[in-house]
Amino acid sequence: MTNELLSRLRSRMPAVMEQAVADRRYLHMHPEVGFETQNTERMVRERLTELGIEILPNKTGVIGRIAGRDHSRAVALRADMDALPMQEENEVPYCSAVPGKMHACGHDGHTAMLLSAARLLQENRAELPMDVILLFQPSEEKGPGGAIYMVKDLEELGLKDHIAFGFGLHLFNDYPLGTVLLRHDSSAASTDEFYITVKGCGGHAGLPHKCVDALSIGAKIVTAMESYMSRRMDPFDPAIFSVGIFRAGSAINIVAETAEVSGTIRCQKEETRAKILEDMQRIVNGLCGGLGAKCDIRIVHGLPVLVNDDSAVDYAERVARELFPAEKVTMGKNPMMGAEDFAYFAQAFPSSFIMIGSSNPEKGLTYLGHHPRFDFDETAMETGILLLCGLALNME
């Protein structure tokens, strides 16, 4: 990207940002959750049509294409569109107008950023070295999510194997305003749910020898897995086994006949994920069998680990350092234990998930994602828009 082109993009930023803020606030006021993003998708299609950008036929979300010089290769840029099923507690002019729904994770900003980047890229399409695929995705917040279906759309369109790199940006109040954070290896955790039901034999508390106490066995499962995680897992390999629900017992003088133990497992490596799931079943079955109970174990597999491609990360870092001051671009030290279904795109083609700092303590914009008072400094979107443009225009 030449200095002249970069200057041209920067000169357009005031007008582009004005539209980005307006788009973001409209979306914030009209949140939609899961796959029910019809109004948001309608807005995206209308905007792309106004810009003269091709909209491709697909089943999930919206896919646009800006033609570059080389049609045999493409760069994919993704924005998620869905909100969360929660009540907003902010008092701002653009507060959610839909009870029980709120953009509490920045997806309104992500969609606005990609729309604005699309505008600039379309204006400068003669400078694009290859095609740009715009991925506006629904249902990131709830697995299996929209990404896995959009990958299928890309396959059916014959585009998946043509994508050289894919990039996803996410606004985070965890980091200072305007910072760009990248990371090699994993960026987000896998997610699996476990539902364990211990089936014992209930009875009178005064006759424990005639019972099989499911509550006691359930408690042993919790402590056994805590010991397993602290003594059998590599402390330098981040993994979480978290029990969120324990239900057992009906009265103080009755031995519980059943116990329910449920929770989530988060890992940064697929091999660690497989090992914990396998060993958990072995431990639970062993405890129940040894103490005279039966058990039912149900596992709901969630999202895979989001693993960044080294080449995509190196390229994104190089672009970011050309666009922003050195102190604004950093390599993240630790992955997040939250999940991101951008992982499915990262499995399909070389990708990098990039975090954009959006907090501003002076304005009170410090609440983290999924909080009812989450909001972000909208000037962070300028960083995201410029980075998206740079990622597309610098491809070779």
Return the active site residues. 82, 140
Instruction: Give the CA-trace dihedral at 39, 83, 160, 336, to 10 degrees.
Output: 170
Amino acid sitting at position 67: A
Pairing of strands 258-267, 351-359: unpaired
CA distance 258 to 288: 12
**What distance in Å separates the CA atoms of residue 212 and residue 292, rounded to the nearest whole number?**
7
Rounded CA-CA distance 8/17 in Å is 14
For residue 90, give the DSSP letter. Answer: -
Q: How far is CA 309 from CA 177, 182, 228, in A?
A: 26, 11, 31
Rounded CA-CA distance 278/181 in Å is 34
Cβ-count burial 137-173 (b if 16+ within 10 Å, e if not)? bbbbbebebbbbbbbbbbeeeebbebbbbbbbbbbbb
Look-up of token digits 């895979």: 304
Residue 100: phi and psi, rounded to 5, are 80, 10
d(CA 258, CA 264) in angstroms, rounded, equals 20
